[in-house]
Amino acid sequence: MANSSTTKETAPTQPVTAMSVVAPAIGWLIPGAGHLIQKRWVRGLLIMGSIAIMFLLGLAMQGRVYRPNGGDILDILGFVGDVGAGGLYIVTRALDLGQGAIAHATADYGTKFIIVAGLLNFISAADAYHIAIGKKP
Amino acid sequence: MNLQLSHFSAAVLFAVFASVVFGITQRSTSREQIRYGLYCFAMFVGGVFVAGWVMWILRR
Domain boundaries, chain B: 8-59
Work out the average pLDDT over A96-101: 79
CB contacts of A117 in chain B (<8 Å) are 17
- pLDDT score for A104: 74
Produce one character per residue of A82-93: b if its CB has 16 or more CB atoms within 10 Å, e if not: bbbbbebbeebb
- pLDDT score for A1: 47
Amino acid at B58: L
What CA–CA distance (Å, rounded) separates B29 from B54? Answer: 37
CB contacts of A81 in chain B (<8 Å) are none
Tell me, what's the ipTM? 0.92
- pLDDT score for A108: 87
Determine which of A53, A92, A99, A106 to mutate to test the interface with B (most B C-beta atoms within 10 Å).
Answer: A106
What CA–CA distance (Å, rounded) separates B40 from B51? Answer: 16
Q: Model confidence over A19-32: pLDDT tens digits?
A: 999 999 999 999 99
Check pLDDT > 80 for residue A7: no
Distance from the Cα of residue A1 to its chain's centroid: 47
